[in-house]
Structure 1
């Protein structure tokens, strides 16, 4: 199989794994393609983010207040099938409810949502929406796209830096994630950084962009370190949670920078 055809198949594999977007049948499939397709996770995230950004900008031309933000978040949930949100809820349940790594992993595989998961998911979505309300349409649209791409980039980096501790026979990711080469990680990070390339053509300042990316990075690192301490590494659910908290931190950073630059208390 030539290089370009393989990359196209890996991209389609990433789309199928992360979203509900209809794609052509792959035909052939190799067991490690999901892991190898991780290089395209941020690019798929960017595409999802662009859809959500378009909804946010378009809705902002009609409505004010929270409605554009809620619609953009809802569309993201629909496009991905709540894939990352499900991981966030399971991770919060496991990290908050178990006393040992084994018990935490067992809780995370339970399909029922508990108190920690419900509160974590609800508060995360509410905080993202509240932060988006404070952003003007152009900045909000860019912020959504950047957060989606960056969140997937953070997840791919966690795959490289942490050990996989999920249940091999019961995990959503089969076969278990294989170790990523640094070249694959760097490719993913390049895709994650694509929104920065259009900054000179927007009204978004570098200060605002940096604040959001730092905010997202801090929350992602905090969750990754917590997972390493309490679980010994990551699972697929943890990767979804890292993506979601990166989005949250990014939105809080963007909104905070806008408030400070406008001189608001």
Structure 2
């Protein structure tokens, strides 16, 4: 249990802006993350991050806000908790893949801190999708159910977002993707199994709909699509690619939970 707590704590420190305390025995708490060590427990850390959005959603609904406005609060809370790191990756990938003609130029654009038309459009569409889906979940299944789905999506999308690390080499010799290196498929698979089970149980507990048990598969499919696109566009992975895969996996999971409820 102590080792598990240390791994989850390290994951929260890297993937969030929460004031995570340093535990005794941590040699380099602020150093580069050990993906091999963190991947198997990442869904648990992701669910903890999702708790922040879930609390904001329930608070908004509790004071009488309509579903969409409560969903805006939840998405905003998630951005604050995570520092919008995954959204930043999505915008950079959209700008690079959309605006560059060669892999080198695409990578150059992705490193530019300025946001372009492709990135702004992708970011607005992604945020709109998350708010819309979450608001519809509140309307269709209730605030508590939507909060559970939010936590499940945060958990499964974090490990799905590491699929590029397990499948592709770094696209450049420096940066977050290169520092993380390749992630073994065995350790990624452990985290993926945990993420799938956790998200499926939360989704089914929220909706009692059998199709919810398969919803995590759509999150992994979205991440796989981003991974294949990155291989074709830049020949490998970067931290931005992982961020884009995370955002799209979260949206795909929530949409798959919502789809049968709207019939």
Q: TM-score range by the shorter chain?
A: 0.7 to 0.9
Q: 2: CA distance between counterparts of 1:59 and 1:242?
A: 28
Counterpart selection for 2:20 from 23, 27, 33: 23
Shift of 1:33: 4.1
The alignment's TM-score, normalised by the length of structure 1, stands at 0.86
Shift of 1:81: 0.6
2:149/2:202 contact within 8 Å kept: no
Shift of 1:73: 0.4
Q: 1: CA distance between counterparts of 2:204 and 2:250?
A: 22
Secondary structure at the counterpart of residue 50 of structure 1: helix
In the alignment, structure 1 residue 38 sits paired with structure 2 residue 44: no
- Alpha-carbon deviations, 1:165-207, whole Å to 9, x = none? 1341xx246x611332334213312431323335665443121
Q: 1: CA distance between counterparts of 2:239 and 2:101?
A: 20
2:201 corresponds to which residue?
197
Q: 2: CA distance between counterparts of 1:217 and 1:101?
A: 25
Q: 1:201 to 1:154 in 2, by over 3 A?
A: closer
Secondary structure at the counterpart of residue 233 of structure 1: coil
Q: 2: CA distance between counterparts of 1:15 and 1:259?
A: 34
Counterpart selection for 2:230 from 216, 227, 232: 227
Q: 1: CA distance between counterparts of 2:205 and 2:126?
A: 30
Q: 1:176 to 1:133 in 2, by over 3 A?
A: same
Secondary structure at the counterpart of residue 66 of structure 1: helix
Counterpart selection for 2:87 from 72, 85, 88: 85
The alignment's TM-score, normalised by the length of structure 2, stands at 0.87
Q: 2: CA distance between counterparts of 1:32 and 1:78?
A: 22
In the alignment, structure 1 residue 206 sits paired with structure 2 residue 203: no
Q: 2: CA distance between counterparts of 1:199 and 1:144?
A: 9
Secondary structure at the counterpart of residue 22 of structure 1: coil
Q: 1: CA distance between counterparts of 2:204 and 2:16?
A: 30
What are the ranges of 5 or more consecutive residues in structure 1 without an aligned counterpart?
261-265
Q: 1:32 to 1:126 in 2, by over 3 A?
A: closer
Q: Which has the higher helix share?
A: 2
The count of corresponding residues between Structure 1 and Structure 2 is 253
In the alignment, structure 1 residue 116 sits paired with structure 2 residue 118: yes
Q: 1: CA distance between counterparts of 2:204 and 2:85?
A: 33
Secondary structure at the counterpart of residue 229 of structure 2: helix
2:57/2:73 contact within 8 Å kept: yes
- Alpha-carbon deviations, 1:35-86, whole Å to 9, x = none? 2323332221111112212222332232223111111100000000111111
Once superposed, what is the RMSD of the aligned Cα atoms? 2.3
1:66 corresponds to which residue?
68
Q: 2: CA distance between counterparts of 1:182 and 1:214?
A: 17
Q: 2: CA distance between counterparts of 1:137 and 1:8?
A: 29
Q: 2: CA distance between counterparts of 1:221 and 1:182?
A: 14
Q: 2: CA distance between counterparts of 1:176 and 1:132?
A: 34
1:185 corresponds to which residue?
188
